Structure 1
Amino acid sequence: MDTGTHVVMGIALGGLAMIDPVVANHSMTATAVIAGTIIGSQAPDVDTVLKLRNNAVYIRHHRGITHSIPAVLLWPLAISGVIHLIMPGADFLHLWLWTFLAVFLHVFVDIFNSYGTQALRPFSNKWVALGVINTFDPIIFGLHVFALMFWAFGANPVYTMLILYAIVFVYYLLRFAVQHAVRHAVKNTIPTAEEIIIAPTIRFFQWRIAAISKTHHYVGRAYGRSINIYDRFDRKTIPDSPLVKAALKDKNLQAFISFSPIYRWEITDHDHIHEVRLIDLRYRSNDYYPFVAVAHLNEELQIVNSYTGWIFSEEKLHKKLDFISD
């Protein structure tokens, strides 16, 4: 989920913590727990700072080790330990329990996005992504904001948050039902599809679609159960050539491949430069595929420049590559 949603989730969990008599009856513990749930709801996303290095490092590691099983166990200990040093009168056990719940909830809700997490590390590096909730879901965010407003105006935080979580739970079930209906509609539209990727959008009834058959890649959108296929590409295996082998050693292309489950490739030549481009098919926007990895190689098959990330026009992509080469 996005940062704003994690923040309101952390505050809401702090309100629910008042169901714990130790928290409700001890003001310092209550203050410490609310701080713990807010910080804990943000802590796993500390790896966002990897963007300061480069996109390749960020793509390969964001929601990786910081969302793993060891991290879910270690974050609460570290956060609770620091808070307890500042507020030694707070009950450490209950502070740790609610902070742990905040960290766990952060990782758990991220699983429902199309981006997903490596939540099963170290047992598996597989990305777990259920793809039923958009990274920013205005309904989930709005429900939390309304609940927090009721709490601010004097409503009982325990009852308010219990009602909130009951509504959110039903909403998640509804999203799964809608996704299942969309998948069934895609299968009817593309009977030869071997793999179907359905990703949510910010709009409740609209979903991004990418499908793979033995011969083609399909890209489209679902509007309710109405399926619109916008593009169909021949499915071709990327050549096992010296050029491609050299390009795939590049860190940007490696990061892209580690993240993208469905992409097509293009190889072009211009001005004594070979371009190898990988194009993620999940994020079509205004007839353009903005998530790409590009490597330029010279005639000696040396990497001249490369890039991976979100680019919404060819002009901006060329500027980015020219800037890197400079």
Structure 2
Amino acid sequence: MDTGTHITMGVALGGLATLDPAVQSDPLLFNAVMVGTIAGSHAPDFDTILKLKNNAVYIRHHRGATHSIPAVIAWGILLAGIIHAVVPSVSFLHLWAWTALAVIIHVLVDIPNAYGTQAFRPFSNRWVAYGFINTFDPYIFGLHVAGIFAWLLGANPAYTWIIVYVVVFMYYIKRYIEKREIAKKIHEYYPDTVEIATSPTIKQNYWRVAITTPDKFYVGAVEHGHIEIIDEFNKVPLPDDELMHKAKEDKNIAAFLSFSPVYRWELSYYDDFTEVRFIDLRYRSDEYYPFVAVVQIDDNMRIMTSYTGWIFSEQKLQNKLGIDNI
């Protein structure tokens, strides 16, 4: 989820913590728990700082190790320990329990996004992305904002957040069922479908889909249950040659390939170099595929420049490639 939603979820958990008699009876513990749930609801995304280094590092590691099982355990202990050091008189057990719950919920609500997480590390490095909740969902965010206002106006926090989360839970079920219906229709149209990547949008009844069959990629949109195929590409395996091996050595290309499960590739030949481009098919927007990885290799098999990330025009991409990204 987006940062704003994660933070409002932290506030909500702080309100739910009043169900705990120890928190309800101790204002100092309540304040400590509120700090813990807000910090815990955002902590796994502290890896966003990796973007300051470069996109390749960010793409390879964002929502990776920081969302893993060991990290989830560590975040709760670390944050609760820091807060407890400041206010040692409060119960560490209750502080840790609510802080750890905030971290766990952060990771759980990231899994239904199209971006996903590596939540099963260290047992599996597979990206878990179920694709039925948008990264920013206005309904989920709006429900949390409404709950915060109700609380500020005097509503009982425990009852308020129980109601909010019952509604949110039902909403998750609704969106999951909608995804299942989309997948069912796609399998009816393309019985040999191997994989379906769904990406819900901010519009409730509009989804993006990328369909993989043994020999084709289909990119489409689903609006009010109607599936429209927009693009169709032949599924061509990567060539086993020196150029492609060199391209895959580049850190930007390697980061892209470690993250993207549905992509096509293309070669462009110029006087002094060859450009290898990888295009993720899951994020089509306004007739453009914004998530790409590009490497330019000269005739002596040396990498000249490369880039990976979200870019929304060819001119901006070429500007990025003009900068030394190696």
TM (norm. structure 2) is 0.98
Give the 5 Å matches for 1:1-326.
Answer: 1-324=1-324
Partner SS state of residue 113, structure 1: coil
Q: Between Structure 1 and Structure 2, how many residues are aligned?
A: 326
Partner SS state of residue 108, structure 2: helix
Residue 85 of structure 1 deviates from its aligned partner by 1.4
- Asked if the contact 2:268/2:275 (under 8 Å) is kept, the reply is yes
Point out where structure 2 has 5 or more consecutive residues left out of the alignment: none
User: CA–CA distance in 2 between the matches of 1:216 and 1:113?
Assistant: 24
User: CA–CA distance in 2 between the matches of 1:155 and 1:25?
Assistant: 18
- Asked if the contact 2:307/2:325 (under 8 Å) is kept, the reply is no
User: CA–CA distance in 2 between the matches of 1:14 and 1:217?
Assistant: 45
- AA at the equivalent of 1:115: Y
- AA at the equivalent of 2:209: I
Point out where structure 1 has 5 or more consecutive residues left out of the alignment: none
Partner SS state of residue 306, structure 1: strand
Partner SS state of residue 227, structure 1: strand
User: CA–CA distance in 1 between the matches of 2:254 and 2:186?
Assistant: 30
Residue 191 of structure 1 deviates from its aligned partner by 3.1
Partner SS state of residue 324, structure 1: coil
Q: Deviations over 1:166-223 (max 9, x none)?
A: 0000000000111111111222233332221112111111111111112211001001
- AA at the equivalent of 1:31: N
- Asked if the contact 1:304/1:325 (under 8 Å) is kept, the reply is no
- The ranges of structure 1 where at least 4 consecutive aligned residues each deviate by more than 6 angstroms after the TM superposition are none
Partner SS state of residue 309, structure 2: strand
Q: What RMSD, in angstroms, separates the aligned Cα atoms of the two structures?
A: 1.1
Partner SS state of residue 188, structure 1: helix
- Asked if the contact 1:147/1:161 (under 8 Å) is kept, the reply is yes
User: CA–CA distance in 1 between the matches of 2:28 and 2:14?
Assistant: 13
- Asked if the contact 2:275/2:294 (under 8 Å) is kept, the reply is yes
Q: Deviations over 1:91-118 (max 9, x none)?
A: 1110011001001110111111111111
Seq. identity, %: 54
User: CA–CA distance in 2 between the matches of 1:74 and 1:186?
Assistant: 41
Residue 325 of structure 1 deviates from its aligned partner by 6.7
- Worse overlay, 202-211 or 191-200: 191-200
TM (norm. structure 1) is 0.98
User: CA–CA distance in 2 between the matches of 1:155 and 1:325?
Assistant: 53
User: CA–CA distance in 2 between the matches of 1:325 and 1:96?
Assistant: 42
Residue 143 of structure 1 deviates from its aligned partner by 0.2
User: CA–CA distance in 1 between the matches of 2:325 and 2:128?
Assistant: 35
Q: Deviations over 1:127-148 (max 9, x none)?
A: 1111111100000000000011
- AA at the equivalent of 2:244: V
User: CA–CA distance in 2 between the matches of 1:234 and 1:121?
Assistant: 33
Residue 66 of structure 1 deviates from its aligned partner by 0.7
Alpha carbons of 1:325 and 1:97: their partners in 2 closer, same or farther (altered >3 Å)?
Answer: closer
Alpha carbons of 1:45 and 1:325: their partners in 2 closer, same or farther (altered >3 Å)?
Answer: closer
Q: Deviations over 1:148-177 (max 9, x none)?
A: 100000000000000011000000000011
